[in-house]
Amino acid sequence: MTKRHFIIILFFSLLTSERLYSSGYKINIQISGFRDDTIFMADYYGNKSFVKDTVILNSDGTGSFEGKNNLSPGIYAIVLPKKQFFDILINKEQNFKITSDTSDIFGKLKFDGSDESDWYWQFQSHLMKNHNKPDYFIKDLITKHPNSLFARYAVLSLSPEYSFNSDSSSIVQKFKEQYTYLTDHYFDNINLSDSLLLKTPAFYEKINYFFNSLLSQQADTIINKIKKIMTGIDVKSPVYKYLVSYLINNYQQNQHTKLENVYVFIADNFYLDGKAPWTSETYIKLLKTRIDQLKTSLIGSKAPNLMLETQGRRSSAIYDIRAEHVLLIFYDIDCSICCNQINELKEIYEGQKILGLKIVAIYIHTDFASWDEFIKDNKLHWINLFDPSISSDYRRLYNIQKVPELFLLDKNKIIVDKYFTASQLEEIMKQKR
């Protein structure tokens, strides 16, 4: 081979390489039937989308999204007039064409020059036609393209397959086994340290369904799953940061529910433990203050003792009340909901429907005369207390932000339940026994 021939071959090799790996993107669009319409391309971060590019189609419905720098790999939305949109997958192929027709935009959608977008559209079309129930078709696509970005996204749609054990003793036991298997293997075949998971809304949908629908909504169950999942994620991965942020925001909404223990766990073990360095000192201080408030009356913790007064103006402490269970209700006599709850509890109490239960009704204001009259008029013969000097700090200790508020304590004054109503009390007690 002569030197001249070598230089020519090298030139064409470099030219070919530059065409394959040159920077920039160009996505040609042709949708017959659109005329002078504006369309957008948006990229995803979790469940949020952000406009990346805009194009005005000409009179024959053609136009191009174009940029000098490569797009980062991931799922992008092509947003059409009248809030219609479809998703495309962008990876190494960033110079391709999309065609369709307004008579049947999704049915006639085609991709020329992007295999992964074509596979991804086949995948989406199958899900839409089969009511979002993936089956062998999806698995076959993944098997055909195992090392593709498409496969890493498509696997998010799959759920673990469970075969019922024929030896199980009952239907209930079978479903318990299925639940355990599904929750233990829900994230199988997914690399939770893969930052490209954040570039599709499917990842958000998967984790949101897992924590808010699939898992039993019991604080201990959720906390154990969080421990297991987060232990397996690289702390330097953007997914780690995303999940920690997702979890704190998700369970922050549950501060006044039975799941507030989950919120406290996340705050303690990630934010207040220095494992969320992206957060500001101001946020950490505010969070610590809030968590300290919640910790005084969490389910599973010992109820704060309160020194209050009876109708006879004698001191009475919560810890001095002896019973298998103690129900505390904080209420106001001018609150209609409170009065309804008081009436329901009175029926339970007078009917002795729950043995071993003592009811302690705590009036939240200091008007003794009105309170005393209310007790006599309603014939409330349980333990009635109030705080005339406002010295017990019950609002902070029990985190009372509204009334009525009910707490169920066991004989050791451990809070076993809260955030419930009088109508739920009998069922709660059945579960505790």
* Average pLDDT rounded to a whole number, residues 35-54: 97
Q: How confident is the model at residue 128 (pLDDT cuts 50, 70, 90)?
A: confident
The rounded distance, in Å, linking the Cα atoms of 276 and 280 is 9
Provide the mean pLDDT of the chain. 91
Q: Summarize pLDDT for 344-379 with one digit per residue, the tens.
A: 999 999 988 888 999 999 999 999 999 999 999 999
Q: Which of 169-183, 290-304, 413-427 has the lowest mean pLDDT?
A: 169-183
Q: Which residue in the block uniquely carries the two structure tokens 């024959």?
A: 60
Question: Tokens 């340290």 map to which residue?
Answer: 193
**Least confidently predicted of 20-29, 94-103, 104-113, 423-432:** 20-29
Q: What is the mean pLDDT of residues 235-243?
A: 96
Does the pLDDT at position 8 exceed 70?
A: no
Q: Give the pairing type, strands 85-90 and 95-101.
A: unpaired
Q: CB-based contacts of 222: which residues, under 8 Å, 6+ apart?
A: 211, 215, 259, 262
> Could you tell me which of 55, 61, 31, 59 has the C-alpha nearest to residue 42?
55
Say yes or no to pLDDT of 5 above 70.
Answer: no
Structure token digits, residue 138? 């999806």
Q: How confident is the model at residue 7 (pLDDT cuts 50, 70, 90)?
A: very low
Q: How confident is the model at residue 166 (pLDDT cuts 50, 70, 90)?
A: low
Enter the CATH code of domain 23-113. 2.60.40.10
Structure confidence at residue 162 as a pLDDT band (50, 70, 90): confident
pLDDT of 270 above 50:
yes
Dihedral angle sign, alpha carbons of residues 134, 138, 140, 143: negative
pLDDT value at 230 more than 80? yes
| Residue 2 pLDDT greater than 80, yes or no | no
Residue 145 has pLDDT above 80, yes or no: yes
The answer to whether residue 144 scores a pLDDT higher than 80 is yes
Residues pairing with 76 in the sheet:
43, 88
Q: Give whole-number Cα distances, 428 to 232, 327, 398, 417, in Å.
A: 36, 12, 20, 8
For the cut 80, the answer to whether the pLDDT of residue 322 exceeds it is yes
pLDDT for the residue 136 = 81
Sheet holding 25-32, edge to edge: 62-67, 25-32, 95-101, 110-112
Q: Exposure of 153 by Cβ count < 10 A (0-12 exposed, 13-18 middle, 19+ buried)?
A: buried
Q: How far apart are CA 212 and CA 250, in angstroms?
A: 9
d(CA 34, CA 242): 38
The shares of helix, strand and coil residues in the chain, as percent rounded to the nearest 5, are 45, 20, 35
The interaxial angle of helices 336-350 and 425-432, nearest 10 deg, is 50
Alpha-carbon distance of 254 to 165, in angstroms, equals 36
Enter the DSSP assignment of 211: I
358 SS3 class: strand
Q: Where are the domains of the chain?
A: 23-113, 174-295, 307-432
Closest CA to 269 of 298, 231, 324, 233: 231
Residue type, 188: D
Whether the pLDDT of residue 159 is over 90: the answer is no
**19 pLDDT band (50/70/90 cuts)?**
very low
Quickly count: other Cβ atoms within 10 Å of residue 152's Cβ: 19
Q: pLDDT tier at 165 (50, 70, 90 boundaries)? A: low
First to last CA, the chain: 91
pLDDT class for 6, splitting at 50, 70, 90?
very low
What percent of the chain stands above pLDDT 90? 82
Closest residue by Cα to residue 382 from 358, 353, 406:
358
Q: What is the DSSP string of 159-207?
A: ----PPPTT-SSHHHHHHHHHHHHHHHTTTT--TT-GGGGGSHHHHHHH
Distance CA 186, CA 210 (A): 8
Q: Is residue 428 predicted with pLDDT exceeding 70? A: yes
pLDDT of residue 216: 95
- Reported as a single tens digit per residue, the pLDDT across 369-412 is 999 999 999 999 999 999 999 999 999 999 999 999 999 999 99
**Winning range, highest mean pLDDT, from 155-169, 246-260, 301-315:** 301-315
At 175 the pLDDT is: 85
133 falls in which pLDDT band (50, 70, 90)? Answer: low
Peptide bond into 404 cis (omega under 30): yes
The two three-digit tokens of residue 410, written as one number: 């066991």
Strand partners of residue 409: 326, 415
Domain 307-432 falls under CATH 3.40.30.10: yes
Give the residue, 13 or 26, on which the prediction is more confident.
Answer: 26
pTM, rounded to two decimals:
0.87
Instruction: Return the pLDDT at 95.
Output: 97
Rounded to whole angstroms, the Cα distance separating 267 from 223 reads: 12
Q: Which of 98-107, 154-163, 232-241 is predicted least confidently?
A: 154-163
Pairing of strands 415-418, 405-410: antiparallel
Enter the tokens of residue 248: 């704190």
Pick from 362, 403, 360, 358: which is nearest to 386 by CA? 362
| Token pair in block for residue 106 | 């999704």
Which pLDDT belongs to residue 17? 41
Q: Which of 80-89, 90-99, 164-173, 274-283 is predicted least confidently?
A: 164-173
Confidence of residue 132 (pLDDT cuts 50, 70, 90): low
pLDDT-derived band at 14, boundaries 50, 70, 90: very low
pLDDT > 50? residue 256: yes
